[in-house]
Amino acid sequence: MRKAVIDLGTNTFNLAIADVENNSIQLLHAEKEGVAIGMGGINDKVLSEDAIQRAIACLERFKNRCNDFQVAKIEAIGTSAIRDASNKQTFLKSVKDATGIEIDVINGIQEANLIYQGIAYTYNFESPSLIMDIGGGSTEFIAANASGIKDLISLNIGVSRIFQLFSFSNPMTSEDILNVENYLEAHEHDFFNRINCQTLVGASGSFETFYELVHQTAYPKGYDTQELDFKEFESILDWIISTSQEERDLNDFIIPIRKKMAPIAAIKTRWVIKRMKANRIVISPCSLKEGVLLRMD
């Protein structure tokens, strides 16, 4: 069956169109757009009118693309910014009226489970691993091994939430970094004291950007996972955190929607590495989209 998944993230909307047969995905088309639906209201639990209009315009384009590919079924998934919004129902109705697309708003645990299913499509968890999916509104962590999920959590510590919560210097100061780390410590709900694994599996998104910055080339096509040299990975996180907005604006390996918030993603990742005492980093191009593709009838 030809299917489409639209992941309505807090920062980025992602579209994947694929033929799915016998638990196998043949990707036909993928694109992403920096909609920033959480900008201007996520910490007040509201979707701004400007954000709603950007979202509808993007979804109209995605719907047309699905029509071009004669998609049999579209599944649109709403995540952190949408699920927390007090005007969620107004938004969902506006999207349905404008595009015909019905959005399934999932909770954080459902999101984490779908992320795991997506990662498990090509990663075999030969050693205990912690999946990290950096979102704009939330970040999901899933501890798993060869027998399946051992623990998971969805935390409202997304980069857009943090970006809008603090006023940061350019480049970030040591005080800025400490403020972010303290915020993470205050909101992790003791999760990192419950897990024991040293392999970090980064789920697409920002982690693909980290890969591209390390290798100075585009992330490989396909669904294979990629392992990075751990020291090189740590070095690129340090570099991102130290950069100015102007330096990031000039770097073609950082997509526009991530240029403002990349240091926050890097601080968060570095903090996680320290908390879990990681010594290995694997990056997967898969995440929620693949999990949804594989679950659909």
Domain match, 181 and 282 both: yes
Domain span at 71? 2-105
> Does pLDDT of 297 surpass 80?
no
226-259 pLDDT tens trace = 999 999 999 999 999 999 999 999 999 999 999 9
Check if the beta carbon of residue 202 is closer than 8 Å to that of residue 210.
yes
Whether 110 is covered by a domain: the verdict is no
Q: Is residue 114 part of a domain?
A: no
Is 259 within the bounds of a domain? yes
**Residue 230 within a domain:** yes
Same domain, 71 and 124: no
Task: Using the 3D structure, point to which of 80, 105, 130 is the last residue of a domain.
Answer: 105
Verify that 76 and 155 share a domain, yes or no: no
Same domain, 272 and 157: yes
Q: What is the CATH number of the domain that holds 254?
A: 3.30.420.150
Q: Residues 65-102: pLDDT tens digits?
A: 999 999 999 999 999 999 999 999 999 999 999 999 99
- 134, 269 contact by CB (below 8 A): yes
